[in-house]
Structure 1
Amino acid sequence: MSHRRLKTKGELSFSNPAVRAWLYQIIAIVLVATAAIYLIHNTITNLNNRGITSGFAFLDRSAGFGIVQHLIDYQEGDTYGRVFVVGLLNTLLVSALCIIFASFLGFFLGLARLSDNWLLRKISTIYIETFRNIPPLLQIFFWYFAVLRNLPGPRQALDLFDLVFLSNRGLYLPSPIIGEGLIATGLAILVALIVSYGLYRFNRTRQIKTGQLRRTWPVALVLIVFLPLLTHLIFGAAIHWDIPALRGFNFRGGMVLIPELAALTLALSVYTSAFIAEIIRSGIQSVPFGQHEAARSLGLPNPITLRQVIIPQALRVIIPPLTSQYLNIVKNSSLAAAIGYPDMVSLFAGTVLNQTGQAIETIAITMSVYLIISLSISLLMNIYNRRIALVER
């Protein structure tokens, strides 16, 4: 009985590593909680002394300023809450465009660095080593001030078939307007896709059973083209187009890609594609060369070998660092404030903060938005990474 008591007493003594670990964690939690309480109390006291009311009631007040680009309807008299939505959508727009363009450009540059063509390999190397070593802010300034702002004015704008116009005011494109045949055309496209997929599955099953290969794409192409065309003739056009036209000193109608968005998209896409290219190259080189030889011994062409054998295995190495580059794109999009693109930082942590004085609330909202976007991208990429991961059995 005494031996058991001594053993229990020894387990609860400070000399036990587990006891010390728990004690250190409790002390750390207490210190962090104390610091947080002090900071919160100090902030509330300073706000009260200066007569600044805290809270998010300011979101219902009228903003009173215009925004050059908005994906939803916006007027100067709208609320700060709507300004938040406009800034969020603009941030998501530039982030999505840069992720798409940087991914495609980086993929082809990574393949070019492994090409047997000497000239293609050297050009891609020079591109990568140049653009990834220039700060992204300088690249944004280059595209905005040195390239886009030196384009001709609206009256001397470059045009393509009088449909697309490029000037220092932006890129003006035809804008789609919903027509009366939209629902019918959408249903026709959906039916064509479902029938095409069913036909593909049927031909694939037949090939496995009989070895006979039947191509699906000719029938699928006919369905996808002629079914919507038939509904167009019967129910009317699904979309009408608003063509931009020069009226006065600028273009009216259509939709515009403002220079700030173009410069930001070009700069971040070019900058990030250089890093993605190196990720693609290293991922492909991580696949054992025996896989190449095995595919070649089976008589597989190089494009099929790359698409069906090498890339699926390289993705397991590519996805984790590629996720980091996507997160960098979202965070670097905040550099838009340097050229006046109306993103979350420029609108909410800039204009709204200066007008309302609600520094804590505006900064907290902006930080939360970037945190949620980054965590969402990480979640989606991790789900995909788990799906393609090798499972040991």
Structure 2
Amino acid sequence: MSENKIPFWRNSRFLNLFFQSIIIIFILLLLGIFRNNLTTNFNQLGLSFGFNFIFDPDLNSRFDIGDSPIPYQATDTYSRALLVGLLNSLRVMISGIILAFILGVIIGLGRLSDNWLIRKIATVYVEIIRNTPLLLQLFFWYSVVFLKLPKINKPLIFINSFFLSNQGLYLPWPRGNLQTSLSVLLLITIPILFIMIWRRNDQIIIQQGINNKLYQALLIFLVISVIFVIIWGLDWQIPQYNYQLKTLQGGLTLSPEFATLLVGLTVYTAAFIAEVIRAGIQSVSQGQWEAAKALGLNSGIIMRFVIFPQALRVIIPPLTSEFLNLAKNSSLASAVAYRDIYAVASTISNQTGKSLEMLLVVMITYLTFNLIISTGMNWFNRWVQIKEN
């Protein structure tokens, strides 16, 4: 019996390839039209497309950058200016993600607290911050808070080491010497040992249902060691007031613009992360709590080994979105005169007329940042997945 052949116009594989080819051809034609229009407009305006001007040693940036983590002068090239803007953006993004996550977890757990006052304070915080535009909050922190602080000659002083004025926040910072290097090496080694002992203790808890007192004592010792190294091991440089220059010198200086952007992004994003944490924990059914309690487990072990691993499956995807939003929202830095990659690129565009090139630089930069964050969070999501046999 011969098998009837399906006509190619009814073959699903052929139809899929056909329509995909049509879409690809359409996209290529569209890109060709855009390229032709761009070339025509550039020719009419007498402009040329290229990125050589960024590295041209004869072209100086001709503008200052107040917040510069590396040496920079107005006589440097545009590539140096873009590098400073890139580092400034990274400072805000990395610090903001860490601080927003910590604050978000605290507020999220506060929303689930049995204490009525803590629960209401966390709720009010979330509702106010989430429903207020970020740009308005940045203006508030900059104009109402940081610029209204005392002058540099009469700063607010905390623990004789932290100075807060309208010219920025002055913090102690380790000196770059051998003592600091050895202390940093210890601060890298101790957390690795902590994780190894923590995971071994978790295995014992899973097998025996109890905490190993020896491992608990070691974990406490490592925590105390970290505190000891941070306070006494690092060679801290304390800011000191220079009466001749009438300014504070030494330590780490955070400008009002950087502090405004960091605080604004942290407070704003933490409100959304708090709801992600709350929703993730509440997504675990009540039966999981009851079953774990029926086994005689205490609340700490229940949260660590029963509730939180299941909640992570719900928490991580929206948490990734909040980290990405923070990275993209950092482009509002120009609103408070902070020189990030977007602000530096805009200035270069105004000076050179290379608006398209600078637009592409900014787009590629933020795309790269977000792809790195997304890739890292996706890897973490796969790592913490509950693997069923």
Cα distance in 2 between the residues matched to 1:191 and 1:276:
30
CA RMSD of aligned residues (A): 3.1
The higher radius of gyration belongs to 1
Which deviations, in whole Å up to 9, do the C-alpha atoms of 1:305-353 show, x marking residues without a partner? Answer: 22332112101110001101110000111111111111111111x1111
Cα distance in 2 between the residues matched to 1:204 and 1:286:
24
1:388 aligned partner: 384
Which deviations, in whole Å up to 9, do the C-alpha atoms of 1:235-283 show, x marking residues without a partner? Answer: xx86352523244443333321111111112222111111111111111
Q: Does 2:369 align with 1:373? A: yes
Offset at residue 18 of structure 1 (A): 4.7
1:111 aligned partner: 109
Structure 1 258/278 Cα, relative in aligned 2: closer, same or farther at 3 Å?
A: same
Cα distance in 1 between the residues matched to 2:144 and 2:343:
22
Structure 1 179/130 Cα, relative in aligned 2: closer, same or farther at 3 Å?
A: same
Cα distance in 1 between the residues matched to 2:199 and 2:274:
35
Q: Report if aligned partners of 2:172, 2:236 keep a CA contact under 8 Å in 1.
A: no
1:44 aligned partner: 39
TM-score normalised to structure 1 length: 0.85
2:354 aligned partner: 358
Q: Does 2:81 align with 1:83? A: yes
Which structure 1 residue ranges, 5 or more long, are not aligned? none
Mapping of 1:33-72 within 5 angstroms? Answer: 33-60=28-55, 61-72=59-70
Q: Does 2:276 align with 1:279? A: yes
Which deviations, in whole Å up to 9, do the C-alpha atoms of 1:76-105 show, x marking residues without a partner? Answer: 211111111111111111111221121111
Which deviations, in whole Å up to 9, do the C-alpha atoms of 1:20-79 show, x marking residues without a partner? Answer: 443333333222212211221221232233222321111123212110101122122111
2:175 aligned partner: 177
Aligned residues: 380
Structure 1 271/245 Cα, relative in aligned 2: closer, same or farther at 3 Å?
A: same
> Aligned residues: percent identity?
41
Structure 1 182/133 Cα, relative in aligned 2: closer, same or farther at 3 Å?
A: closer
Structure 1 18/257 Cα, relative in aligned 2: closer, same or farther at 3 Å?
A: same
Q: Report if aligned partners of 1:63, 1:78 keep a CA contact under 8 Å in 2.
A: yes
Q: Report if aligned partners of 1:180, 1:238 keep a CA contact under 8 Å in 2.
A: no
Offset at residue 124 of structure 1 (A): 1.4
Cα distance in 2 between the residues matched to 1:287 and 1:200:
24
2:308 equivalent among 301, 308, 311: 311
Which structure 2 residue ranges, 5 or more long, are not aligned? none
Cα distance in 1 between the residues matched to 2:259 and 2:230:
33
Offset at residue 187 of structure 1 (A): 5.3
Mapping of 1:211-222 within 5 angstroms? Answer: 213-214=213-214, 215-217=217-219, 220=222
TM-score normalised to structure 2 length: 0.86
SS in 2 for 1:165: strand
1:11 aligned partner: 7
